[in-house]
Amino acid sequence: MTAQDPRTKFSSEKIPKQEQPLPGLQTKLDPKPDCGEETYQGYGRLTDYKMLVTGGDSAIGRAAAIAYAKEGADVAINYLPAEEEDAEEVKNVIEAAGRKAVLIPGDLRDEQFNYELVEKAYNELGGLDNVTLVAGHQQYHDDIKGFTTEAFVETFETNVYPIFWTVQKALDYLQPGATITTTSSIQGYKPNPILHDYAASKAAIISLTKSLSEELADKGIRVNCVAPGPFWSPLQISGGQPTSKIPEFGQNTPLGRPGQPVELSGIYVHLAAEESSYTTGQVYGVTGGGQIN
């Protein structure tokens, strides 16, 4: 296999304008994101691991779930009931890789559901080695007066609170050597004013990752974070970006294109695998060249 020019590895053409109601379905996106269904190659780095992925039906969470399965893991995915169509596609890919798939629909804004989610994943997988937290909510507003208290609450209830709830419950099951992987964003470092609440929530996730890693190191549990830049996903066309901005989405990065979710797969696998055994409390930026500092 030869090295590929990262500028042209995936399309940099303008994306057609499109819009979907929340939460958005990957099956209806044009073009379809590459989540590694055909392109990710596994090497057995997670053989017989048991993984839980929130937001595992589409885009980044889907790519992580698929990569985990192709590396030999059994995977439980969480998603909203309205995303069942996407989740079934992921289930088929996981099972085609010869691994067990567990589908657990539900709303992470419900505190009790988070506890039940972790318990069900543990019971149905027969263990738990990693919790990967990807699910998120993003809704733009033109200016600060467009943001409401309800909007801020919904964003933090989706993006931040479930980290507390899932980790609290997961600690009943995670053993030394286990890992937790959170998902922040370049927005946590370089906030866009149309995304005040989303950017603030992503900055909070960075802080939580670091504080959790400090506490859980004594238990032999590693906690790290992935901070993506502009990745093509249903999040963008269901209120995450103005429709007028969709055609140029991601083209202002140094690499000149949006990322495809499969380009994050290797980072999620690396952080869950033994090869990163001395890595905790870190944030991995995958931004197409956008700086996080």
pTM over 0.85: yes
Assess contact for 55 and 78: CB atoms under 8 A.
Answer: yes
Distances from the Cα of 63 to the Cαs of 23, 32, 49, 134, 173, in angstroms?
A: 18, 13, 17, 11, 25
**Which pLDDT value is given to residue 2?**
87
pLDDT tens, N- to C-terminus, the chain (293 residues): 789 999 999 999 999 999 999 999 999 999 999 999 999 999 999 999 999 999 999 999 999 999 999 999 999 999 999 999 999 999 999 999 999 999 999 999 999 999 999 999 999 999 999 999 999 999 999 999 999 999 999 999 999 999 999 999 999 999 999 999 999 999 999 999 999 999 999 999 999 999 999 999 999 999 999 999 999 999 999 999 999 999 999 999 999 999 999 999 999 999 999 999 999 999 999 999 998 87
**Which pLDDT value is given to residue 292?**
83
Q: Burial level of 115, CB count in 10 A (0-12/13-18/19+)?
A: middle
**Which pLDDT value is given to residue 259?**
97
**Which pLDDT value is given to residue 263?**
98
Catalytic residue ranges: 198
CATH number among 3.40.50.720, 3.40.50.300, 2.40.50.100, 3.30.450.20, domain 43-280: 3.40.50.720
**Which pLDDT value is given to residue 182?**
98
CA 175 to chain centroid, in Å, comes to 23
Three-class SS state of 233: coil
| Radius of gyration of the chain, Cα coordinates, nearest whole angstrom | 18
CA angle at residue 268 from 72 to 248, to 5 degrees? 125
**Which pLDDT value is given to residue 16?**
95
Q: Kindly provide the b/e burial profile for residues 210-234, where b requires at least 16 CB atoms within 10 angstroms of the residue's own CB.
A: bebbeebeeeebbbbbbbbbbbbbb
Indicate the pairing of strand 179-183 with strand 50-54: unpaired
In this structure, which amino acid lies at residue 283?
Answer: V
Domain ranges of the chain: 43-280
